[in-house]
Structure 1
Amino acid sequence: MSLQEGDKVDHFSCKDDNGATFESTSLLGKKVAVVYFYPKNFTPGCTKEACDFRDHYTEFKELGAEVIAVSSDSASSHQKFKTKYRLPFIFLADKDGQLRKLFGVKSSLLGLLPGRETFVIDKNGVLRYRFNSLNASKHMSKALSVVKQIADE
Structure 2
Amino acid sequence: MNFKTLITAITFSLAAGTAMALEVGDQAPDFLLEGTDGQSYSVSQFKGKEAVVIAWYPKAFTGGCTIECKSLADNGHLLKGLEVAYFMASVDPIEKNIEFAEAYEADFPLLSDPTKKAAKAYDVLAVYGLPKRHTFYIGTDGKILFIDKNIRPATSAEDMAAKLKELGVPERA
TM range (shorter): 0.7 to 0.9
Aligned-partner Cα distance in 2 for 1:147–1:94: 25
- 93, 108, 117: which one pairs with 2:134? 117
Q: Does 1:57 align with 2:76?
A: yes
* Letter in structure 2 aligned against 1:86: E
Larger deviation: 44-53 or 6-15?
6-15
1:59–1:139 CA distance, 2 compared to 1 (3 A): closer
* More displaced stretch, 71-80 vs 13-22: 13-22
Say yes or no: does 1:27 pair with 2:46: yes
- In structure 1, the residue matched to 2:103 is 84
Matches within 5 A, 1:67-106: 67-106=86-125
More strand by share: 1
User: Which of structures 1 and 2 has the bigger CA Rg?
Assistant: 2
- Residues 32-87 of structure 1, C-alpha deviation per residue, up to 9 Å, x if partnerless? 11101001111121010111112221121111112111111111111111111110
Asked whether the 8 Å contact 2:37–2:109 carries over to 1, the reply is no
Q: Any stretches of 5+ residues in structure 2 without a counterpart?
A: 1-19
CA distance in 2, matches of 1:151, 1:27: 14
TM-score between the two structures when normalised by the length of structure 1: 0.85
Structure 1 residue corresponding to 2:61, chosen from 34, 42, 64: 42
Q: Please tell me whether the aligned partners of residues 53 and 136 of structure 2 are also in contact (alpha carbons under 8 angstroms).
A: yes
**Residues 36, 116 of structure 1: 8 Å contact kept:** yes
Moved more, 74-83 or 131-140: 131-140
> Given residue 62 of structure 1, which amino acid in structure 2 is its aligned partner?
G
Q: Distance in 1 between matches of 2:47 and 2:154?
A: 26
Q: Secondary structure at the match of 1:151?
A: coil
Structure 1 CA distance for aligned equivalents of residues 73 and 67 of structure 2 = 10
What is the identity percentage for the equivalent residue pairs of Structure 1 and Structure 2?
Answer: 25
Give 3-state SS (helix, strand or coil) of 2:88's partner.
strand
TM-score, L = length of structure 2: 0.76
State the secondary structure of the residue aligned to 1:88.
Answer: coil
The corresponding residue for 1:13 is 32
Task: Extract unaligned runs of 5+ from structure 1.
Answer: none
Q: CA RMSD in A?
A: 2.1
Q: How many residues align?
A: 150
Judged with a 3 Å threshold, the aligned counterparts in structure 2 of structure 1 residues 10 and 113 are, in CA distance, closer, same or farther, namely: closer
Correspondence for 1:151 = 169
Q: Report the 3-state secondary structure (helix = DSSP H, G, I; strand = E; otherwise coil) of the residue aligned with 2:146.
A: strand
